[in-house]
């Protein structure tokens, strides 16, 4: 499901990097170069690691809560393994594909926010990131022009249109 056509290419790449632990977080970088601070540049509360940034960081957790407030059925996995198991066992029905697009978009925007915090010295606010995820997913799903949809899929598309 990582390479699903509903997921934007740049989101797919980040999704793939997540599953392969390929991010250059500060814990990885500190093995090769001297790092002034190993703290997470987003929350500044814990050491930045792959797991912390995407699963435990205060920003990420608040973002998942914000998404859940308008998506309703969104449950962020508690581990990388849990997300991998869900992703690879998910059915190909539209509901699971839409959730998969949300997971990929959330990972992408968490990484984008992290980089913005480092290179621009300004982090995004949670509500604007949540809103951007909603817009991106909506445009992606509605823009692909899904044909021959079941009644349930038609219902889901109507919900997406209402966002």
- Residue 155 counted as domain residue: yes
- Residue 1 counted as domain residue: no
Whether the full predicted model's pTM is greater than 0.75, yes or no, is yes
Q: Whole domain around residue 127: which residue ranges?
A: 9-161
- Residue 2 counted as domain residue: no
Per-residue three-class SS string for the chain: CCCCCCCCHHHHHHHHHHHCCCCCCHHHHCCCCCCCCCECCCCCCCECCHHHHHHHCHHHHHHHHHHHHHHCCCCCCCCHHHHHHHHHHCCCCHHHHHHHHHHHHHHHHHHHHHHHHHHCCCCCCHHHHHHHHHHHHHHHHHHCCCCCCCHHHHHHHHHHHCC
- Residue 4 counted as domain residue: no
Looking at the structure of the chain, the number of domains it has is 1
Per-residue pLDDT of the chain (163 residues; tens, 9 = 90+): 667 778 899 999 999 999 888 899 999 888 889 989 999 999 999 999 999 999 999 999 999 999 888 877 667 788 888 888 877 776 677 777 888 888 899 999 999 999 999 999 999 999 999 999 988 988 887 776 655 556 656 656 666 666 6
Q: What is the pLDDT of residues 144-154, one digit of tens each?
A: 665 555 665 66
- Residue 39 counted as domain residue: yes
């Amino acid at each position: 499901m990582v390479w699903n056509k509903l997921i934007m290419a740049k989101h797919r790449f980040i999704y793939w990097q997540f599953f392969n632990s390929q991010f250059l977080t500060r814990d990885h970088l500190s093995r090769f170069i001297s790092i002034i601070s190993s703290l997470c540049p987003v929350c500044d509360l814990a050491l930045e690691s792959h797991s912390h940034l995407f699963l435990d960081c205060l920003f990420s957790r608040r973002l998942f809560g914000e998404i859940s407030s308008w998506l309703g059925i969104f449950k962020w996995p508690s581990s990388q393994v849990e997300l991998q198991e869900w992703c690879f066992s998910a059915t190909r029905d539209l509901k699971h594909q839409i959730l998969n697009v949300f997971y990929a978009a959330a990972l992408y925007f968490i990484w984008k926010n992290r980089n913005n915090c480092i290179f621009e010295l300004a982090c995004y606010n949670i509500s604007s990131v949540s809103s951007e995820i909603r817009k991106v997913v909506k445009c992606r799903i509605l823009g692909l022009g899904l044909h021959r949809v079941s009644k349930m899929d038609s219902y889901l598309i109507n919900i997406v249109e209402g966002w």
